Structure 1
Amino acid sequence: MSSVADSTRGAQNAPFFSKEATVAPPGFSRWMVPPAALAVHLCIGQAYAFSVFNAPLTKVIGVTQSAPGDWTLTTLGWIFSLAIVFLGLSAAFGGKWLERVGPRRTMFTAACCFGGGFLVSALGVYLHQIVLLYLGYGVIGGIGLGLGYVSPVSTLIRWFPDRRGMATGLAIMGFGGGAMIAAPLSVMLMKHFASDTSSGVAQTFVVLGVAYFISMTIGSIAIRVPAPDWKPAGWTPPVVAKKLVSSKHVHIDEALKTPQFYLIWLVLFLNVTAGIGILGQASVMIQESFKDTVTAGAAAGFVGLLSLFNMGGRLVWASASDWVGRKNTYFIFFVLGAILYYAVPQFAQSGNIVLFVLAYCLILSMYGGGFSTVPAYLADMFGTAFVGGIHGRLLTAWAAAGVAGPALVNYLRQYQLANGVAKADAYTMTVHIMALLLIVGFVCNLLVRRVNEKHHMSESQLAAKQ
């Protein structure tokens, strides 16, 4: 009890944005923390909806249609790519900073970067300078994405040692669902601000930047971390630890020396690569697979359905992992995913659109579940003390998959079409390769073992680092 009391007194006297100031007082409900995490993740989830700006950004000069001097889609495509790259980089390097300064300062910094990135981008649209969009949304906004992504997750894991999967699923579900709010909101704002001389993009960027800054700042103010030695009421750590769940802690730098880190990196990379490319081409894929049957409107509904399963899978699969284990959950992803990818071309060739849609919905649920299950997997392997930093380093797998997945789908499709393959059959080779990638992921997951004790920190080392 003395350590809790000392922490409480320290929190009262500490600067507002310090790590010590976020220590929760006695009696604080841990269920107040997930809404704070969602306040951030629902905002940064807007990244999945950035494509709604692509067409209007090609008409900044022409307003109603592209004019000479307007940006092309290939030029604009780099904005999102830069944002994902800097998400991975900032998560990798900022995760260690997060462990030192705490979640409140990190989340507020994320709010400044993500909201500020929109304002810089608005200026770029107003001045028609693409470099400012690259800098604003791509670099500054991307840094906000990365810091905002990792900061609530490690905090939730500490609050829910009994339900790590469910806790991370709650937060990361918000990232998957943020686009469902951002897409219609952005379209509505652009229509509101549109005029004979403006497409309304710059004004929309300003409104979103301010709104996201306020929401993320509220989340940063509300966030709390548990006091040292805090445990949920009525819960005691299991006397006999599960095979792959450690009660010891591994430092961020030491985790990089273990084979487990790189195996889990590959597990995430292969799971994401197999899903992200399909997500980007879903509308075109279903229309080409069922020519003259699926309209553009129906294809848009298919994309929306995939987004729902992507979001729901983040909570459902992560929560399920609390019962079946993280390693077993990924086994399900890889085995079921490989079977579904192999079967999808047969569903298309037989004209069975129901099984085609159901297969991709399950695949995208496991794609989302891979994101939300991996933080708990890392906490099981390396302990909770530095899981935020370790998770940040691991997210470089997402950045790499964000390049590899779409490139694999797009270039293989182009190669097939150039060699006379019908559009309806152009994805067969691609999905079979996706199935092979998942089989490789199965092997990587199979090789994961308990972290060697030589990497564990002693109690004195842990106290010195915290």
Structure 2
Amino acid sequence: MTTPSTPARRGGPVAPPGWSRWLVPPAALSIHLSIGQAYAWSVFKPALESGLDLSGTQSALPFQLAIVMLGLSAAFGGTLVERNGPRWAMTVSLVCFSSGFLISALGAATAQYWLIVLGYGFVGGIGLGIGYISPVSTLMKWFPDRPGMATGIAIMGFGGGALIASPWSAAMLDSFGSDNRGIALAFLVHGLAYAVFMGLGVLLIRTPAARVKDEGSGETARVPVTGHGVSARSALRTPQFWCLWVVLCMNVTAGIGILEKAAPMISDFFADTDTPVSVAAAAGFVALLSAANMAGRIGWSSTSDLIGRKNIYRVYLGVGAVMYLLISQFGDASKPLFILCALVLLSFYGGGFATIPAYLKDLFGTYQVGAIHGRLLTAWSTAGVLGPLIVNQIADRQAAAGHSGPELYGLSLTVMTGLLVVGFIANELVRPVHPRHHVTPPDAAPAAPVPAQKEAAAHDDAR
């Protein structure tokens, strides 16, 4: 067992006595609701394709680059977030995300598409990654008794950001016009408005003092760190980290496979039936999936506080595999069954994102958990490419072979079922981290003795 040679610097203002920890989730939400706009990028695609004469693949490039940069910036910037604190991280996110829109506005106004790719995809993507992980470890330190609920509240905002951004962006394009000038004005308004809204979170965020009171039970939990933790560098050397990497990658790949192709998929499944799905109904289906994604982030992550992280991932991956199997075998026979299974899958998709920080905290402690989470998000970058690639490539090949309707997706749905089974196995392989990886964090408070039966129960929960 070792002690880190260089103490981590905890940036940002410390909460004064009497500060309510319930002010921290709104601060986190201001960031996540803003960067959640990424899921509404498709609103701009038709205008960009007509205004700048782009193909569908070209108009998707800023979003794809943004998701890749999200994972990379979270991985490489995670240690800096832990070192400099949440206010620093939120400020960096604000500057990058808002600047990305302003650069994109310049690109639209001058018809220079590469500036939109640079602004929204590269610069804005960095803001996505840093902003995504900025409140995670702070929330878990404020809510040591309910880490799943705390991170679920914030990450719910990322899933729900598109519910605000989609109609707002569409209304601006209707008002300003869908030409280059209108797109530029919409990007400009986005950049300025998000800067103000995210600034509220920057001003409101506080790091906890030595102890935080559980307002429900009246008990006091030690914060920010008790006992032993695992550094981000050491975490990469553990099988637990890589098992969770596979778990997250498989769960996200399966969810994003439906999310990215939702509207055409439901239309194709029921195209040859007596009740085909209209364009408006398909759009409503996408909105329902977004709501399920958002609800799953808070609902399932809060449930994990009650039944344990490993058990909730058994539900995500095991039940998710069954849902995919039902869609592939019986989806075209019943529209309610198809919709229900898709909603459950998207709730698991959102829940997986929201629960993973608490799972990491259970295994590695709160010391550098933000940095560990950042490195784990490279699984998201991988899944963001893998999921759409599997569904689209297989559908294109099936169409080229003369197939139509549900036949376009049968093979890809079977592949998704298999991926979830792989994730289920990886989750079963997770065990408590070996003590040789533990360090005593420099700001650790002496932990109270833990009764033997409670210690055993904690290890059982990790298993």
Give the structure 1 partner of residue 164 of structure 2: 181
Aligned Cα root-mean-square deviation (Å): 1.8
Letter in 2 for 1:374: I
Larger displacement relative to structure 2 (49-58 or 246-255): 246-255
CA separation of 1:313/1:27 partners in 2, compared to 1, >3 Å: closer, same or farther?
same
Counterpart CA distance in 1 for 2:57 and 2:342 is 27
Counterpart CA distance in 1 for 2:255 and 2:421 is 14
CA contact (8 A) 1:88 1:395 kept: yes
2:245 matched to 1:261?
no
CA contact (8 A) 2:32 2:155 kept: yes
Counterpart CA distance in 2 for 1:459 and 1:208 is 41
- Normalised TM-score (structure 1): 0.89
CA separation of 1:461/1:171 partners in 2, compared to 1, >3 Å: closer, same or farther?
closer
Give the structure 2 partner of residue 3 of structure 1: none
Give the structure 1 partner of residue 324 of structure 2: 341
Counterpart CA distance in 2 for 1:457 and 1:429 is 47
Alpha-carbon shift at residue 198 of structure 1 (Å):
4.8
- Which of 196, 199, 210 is the equivalent residue of 1:228? 210
2:203 matched to 1:212?
no
Give the structure 2 partner of residue 11 of structure 1: none
Stretches of structure 1 that go unaligned for 5 or more consecutive residues are 1-17, 62-69, 239-245
- Normalised TM-score (structure 2): 0.90
Counterpart CA distance in 1 for 2:123 and 2:100 is 5
Letter in 1 for 2:198: M
Counterpart CA distance in 2 for 1:171 and 1:391 is 14
- Which of 222, 225, 228 is the equivalent residue of 1:248? 228
Counterpart CA distance in 1 for 2:404 and 2:109 is 43
Counterpart CA distance in 2 for 1:331 and 1:177 is 25
Once the two structures are superposed, residues 176-201 of structure 1 have per-residue CA deviations (whole angstroms, 9 ceiling, x without a partner) of 00000001001111122128x65511
1:74-85 mapped onto 2 (5 Å cutoff): 74-85=57-68
Once the two structures are superposed, residues 42-88 of structure 1 have per-residue CA deviations (whole angstroms, 9 ceiling, x without a partner) of 00000000110000112226xxxxxxxx2222212111110001000
CA contact (8 A) 2:97 2:123 kept: yes
| Secondary structure class of the residue paired with 2:362 | helix
2:82 matched to 1:99?
yes
Once the two structures are superposed, residues 387-445 of structure 1 have per-residue CA deviations (whole angstroms, 9 ceiling, x without a partner) of 11110010000000000000000111112222233333211111111111111111000
2:373 matched to 1:425?
no
How many percent identity over aligned positions?
52
Counterpart CA distance in 1 for 2:106 and 2:220 is 54
Alpha-carbon shift at residue 21 of structure 1 (Å):
4.1
Alpha-carbon shift at residue 231 of structure 1 (Å):
4.6
| Secondary structure class of the residue paired with 2:44 | helix
CA contact (8 A) 1:291 1:424 kept: no
Give the structure 1 partner of residue 291 of structure 2: 308
2:436 matched to 1:445?
no
Counterpart CA distance in 2 for 1:152 and 1:252 is 17
Counterpart CA distance in 1 for 2:136 and 2:22 is 14
| Secondary structure class of the residue paired with 1:360 | helix
CA separation of 1:203/1:349 partners in 2, compared to 1, >3 Å: closer, same or farther?
closer
CA contact (8 A) 2:152 2:355 kept: yes
Give the structure 2 partner of residue 6 of structure 1: none
Counterpart CA distance in 1 for 2:220 and 2:94 is 36
Counterpart CA distance in 2 for 1:19 and 1:260 is 26
Give the structure 2 partner of residue 325 of structure 1: 308
Q: How many residues align?
A: 429
CA separation of 1:49/1:427 partners in 2, compared to 1, >3 Å: closer, same or farther?
same
Counterpart CA distance in 2 for 1:55 and 1:460 is 53
